[in-house]
Amino acid sequence: MARTISVELAGFTGLFRDLEEYVVSLDRVLSRIGAGEDPRILLEYVVEYGLPSRLAQAREFVGDSLERVIGAEALEEIAEQVEAYRDKK
Amino acid sequence: MARTISVELAGFTGLFRDLEEYVVSLDRVLSRIGAGEDPRILLEYVVEYGLPSRLAQAREFVGDSLERVIGAEALEEIAEQVEAYRDKK
């Protein structure tokens, strides 16, 4: 059996709610941009719906749960390996 | 003690990795837009990094884990209550 981790149910449910919202919203926003709307509506969505801080909160929740099992060092290592967006110029 | 849910560790770690990437990337993209860059770079990031399909995969993972504990009906109900982006016009 695959290794599992015990996660607080309320926080995990909140995570599902957020992801459901992001998926449905992005689909709508990208459809509208595809239909000719100003790409700026994506920025408006991201800012109005508070995605930066909500995603940061979700990362804290998942990271804290994970840290209790794998330890701070292993968590740090995973975070360091992530390849985030970079300026290509 | 708060109610907990058992979640597959590998998938949960992947979730952390994704969230870390989104938080760092959004911060960089929004900083650059704030500094005068074309807001279109947000759309480019979202598309190039495959956020719509990756967020949908994360939703499946979290939703499937949750469904095993709370059942399909309760999950559906949560999804229906989510207030996603809507056209304001």
Which ipTM did the prediction report? Answer: 0.94
Structural domain count, chain A: 1
The predicted pLDDT at position B2 comes to 82
Return the H-helix or E-strand segment holding B50: none
Is there a domain that residue B58 lies in? yes
**pLDDT averaged over chain A?**
95
Q: Is the pLDDT of residue A87 over 70?
A: no
pLDDT of residue A88: 60
The b-or-e profile of B70-88 (16+ CB within 10 A means b, else e) is eeeeebeebbeebebbeee
Structural domain range at position B48: 10-77
Is the residue at A88 inside a domain?
A: no
Tell me if A58 is assigned to some domain. yes
Q: Is residue A70 part of a domain?
A: yes
Radius of gyration of chain B measured on its C-alpha atoms? 17
Query: Residue A18: closest CA among chain B residues belongs to which residue?
Result: B82
- B37 CB neighbours in chain A (<8 A) are none
Has residue A73 been placed in a domain?
yes
Query: Residue B84 falls within a domain, yes or no?
Result: no
Distance from CA of A58 to the nearest CA of B (A): 7
What pLDDT is recorded for position B79? 96
Tokens standing for residue A14: 């909140």
- pLDDT of the residue at B36: 97
**What pLDDT is attached to residue B87?**
65
The pLDDT of residue A29 is: 97
Average pLDDT over residues A19-25: 97
Residue A65 lies in a domain: yes
pLDDT, residue B34, reads 97
Return the exposure string of A39-49: e unless at least 16 CB atoms fall within 10 Å of the residue's CB, then b.
bebbbebbeeb
The CA distance from A47 to A49, in Å, is 6
For residue B88, the model assigns a pLDDT of 60
Interface test with B, best of A85, A86, A89 (most B CBs within 10 A): A85
**In this structure, are residues B58 and A19 in contact, taking their beta carbons and an 8 Å threshold?**
yes
Q: What is chain A's alpha carbon radius of gyration, rounded to the nearest angstrom? A: 17
Domain annotation covers residue B83? no
Average pLDDT score over residue span A13-35? 97
pLDDT tens track for A52-78: 999 999 999 999 999 999 999 999 999
Q: Which residues of A touch B89 (CB under 8 A)?
A: none
Q: What is the mean pLDDT of residues B6-20?
A: 97
Report d(CA A72, CA A14) in Å as an integer.
Answer: 24
Q: How confident is the model at residue B44, as a pLDDT? A: 97
| pLDDT value at A49 more than 90 | yes
Q: In this structure, are residues A21 and B82 in contact, taking their beta carbons and an 8 Å threshold?
A: yes
Give phi and psi for B16, each to the nearest 5: -60, -45
**A63 and B16 Cβ atoms separated by less than 8 Å:** yes
Contact state of A66 with B32 under an 8 Å Cβ cutoff: no
Nearest residue in A to B59, CA atom: A19
- CB-nearest partner of A42 from B16, B43, B87: B43
